[in-house]
Structure 1
C-alpha cells in the first residue's frame, strides 16, 4: 500500500512537466502584437515628458511617428504566428522517459541504502514494553537503594552505586530520581562534568534555569579545565539566568 501511494504521488508531481511538454503552442496575432508594442512606446513617451527627460517639441515629433506606425498596423494582414516552438516528438518521448526515471531512481536509492523490510515500530507497543521493563527493574532498584544506605560517606562504592542508580533511573525516564541519585554522588565527591550534567537535566525538568542550576554551573566552570566541551553550554545557561533575572 505504501509503495502504491509513493508511486502515485511521484507521478502526480510529474504531471505539470508532461502537460508543458505536450501542450499545443499558443497562436499570436501579428496586428495585436504590433499594437501592444506601440501602446507601450506611447506610455513610455508620456512618462519621459512628465519627468522632463524630453522637450515638448521632441514629444510631439515622437508621438506623431508612433501614431503613423499605428495607422500602418491596419495594413498588416491578419496572420498568426506561434509564440513558442514545439518540440519534436522524439524529444518529447526522451524527456518523458527521463522524467519517469526520476521516481524510479529515487526508489532504487532507497532500496539500496534504506531498510524497506524493517517493520514499523508503533508508539503504543514501545511504551508498553518500556513499562514492563520498568516494572521488572523496580525490585532491583529498591535493593540497590537499600544497599547504598548502609555504605558510609567515605566508601568509594557509594559513589559508584549512586552513579549507577542515576543511570538506571534516567534510562527509565525518571529524571527527577536520576538527579537526586547523582546529587548524592556529587555531595560525596565533587565532579565538574557531573555537576554540569545535573544542572542541565534540572533545567530541562524545570523548563527554566533555576538558582540551584546556576550555582552548579558556576561551580563546575570554576573547577573544570578551559577546554571542556560543555563550557559554552554552561555559560549560555548562566547568561539566560541573568537575562531572565533582569
Structure 2
C-alpha cells in the first residue's frame, strides 16, 4: 500500500510537466490573425483606388509592400507549423525521461535505505539509555570530586564544570547541567553561557524564573548586539514581566 501511494504521488508531481509538454502552441493563431489583417488591407487599398482616393502609383507601391508582408507571414506560418509538430514527436521520449526520475529516486532509496527495517520500540531504547547512564554515573562522580578539590582560581576548574554540564545535559538532567555551568559562570562570566543557563533553567522548570530573567538581562548588557539569542532573551524577559504585572 505504501509503495502504491508513493508511485501515485510521484506521478501526480509530474502532471504539470505533462501539461507543459502537451500544450498546443498559440503562435499559429496569432500569425493567421496577421494574415487576415493584411488581406483586409489589400481590399481597402483596392476600394481606395476605385474611389480615386489614391493614385495608381501609390496603389502599386502599397500593394507591393502588403504582398511582401504576406509572403513573409506565409513562410513564418509554415516554419511554426513544423516547429509545432517537432516537439510532439519527442513527447514520448521526454515523458519516459520524466518517469525515470521517481523510479531512480525509489531505486536509490532501496539501495541505500532499509525500508523493511521495523521501527525500534521505545522500551528497549529507554532501557539502553538507562544502562548507559548507570555506566557513566561513576565517572561523573569522580569528576565532581576532582572539581571540588581544585582551587577556585584554577582555570581547569572552569573547563571541568563546562564538561560536566555538557555530560549532564546529554543525559537529559537539565537541572544538574545548569548547576554545573553556574559554577563555571561564577568563576568567569560569559554572556553566551549565562543565556544558555537561563534558557535551560526555563526548560527544566517549565516557566521563566526571576533568576533566569536576571541572567538574561546581565547577558544582554554585556553581549554584542548581533548575538543570535538576543531575540529569545528579550521574549523571555517580556514573558516574565507579563506574568508578574
TM-score by length of 2: 0.57
Q: How does 1:1-246 map to 2 (within 5 A)?
A: 5-9=1-5, 106=102, 108-112=104-108, 115-117=112-114, 119-122=117-120, 123-246=122-245
Structure 1 residues 228 and 8: CA distance shift in structure 2, 3 A = closer
| Closer, same or farther: CA 120–171 of 1 in aligned 2, 3 Å | farther
Q: Compared with structure 1, are the counterparts of its residues 12 and 231 closer, same or farther at alpha carbon in structure 2 (3 Å cutoff)?
A: closer
Once structures 1 and 2 are overlaid, which stretch shifts more, 112-121 or 123-132? 112-121
Task: Give the 3 Å change call, closer, same or farther, for CA 11–224 of structure 1 in structure 2.
Answer: closer
Distance in 1 (CA, whole Å) between partners of 2:148 and 2:139 is: 14
Q: SS of the residue aligned with 2:105?
A: helix
Distance 1:8 1:240, change over 3 A: same
Post-superposition CA distance 1:25-70 (Å, at most 9, x none): xxxxxxxxxxxxxxxxxxxxxxxxxxxxxxxxxxxxxxxxxxxxxx
For the residue of structure 2 that corresponds to 1:228, the secondary structure is coil
**Number of aligned residues:** 161
- How far did 1:172 drift? 0.9
Distance 1:110 1:210 in 2: 51
CA distance change for structure 1 residues 222 and 125 in 2, over 3 Å: closer, same or farther?
same
- Write out per-residue CA displacement over residues 188-210 of structure 1, whole angstroms, 9 at most, x where no aligned residue: 11110000000011111122211
CA–CA distance in 2 between the matches of 1:105 and 1:126?
A: 37
Equivalent position of 2:66 in the other structure:
none
Gap regions ≥5 residues in structure 1: 15-93
Is the alpha carbon distance of 1:171 and 1:226 closer, same or farther for their aligned partners in structure 2, counting shifts above 3 Å? same
1:128-147 C-alpha deviation (Å, 9 max, x unpaired): 22112111111100100111
Give RMSD over aligned pairs: 2.9
CA distance in 2, matches of 1:206, 1:160: 26
Normalising to structure 1: TM-score of the pair?
Answer: 0.57
**Structure richer in helix, relative to its length:** 2
Whole-Å separation in 2 of the counterparts to 1:226 and 1:110: 47
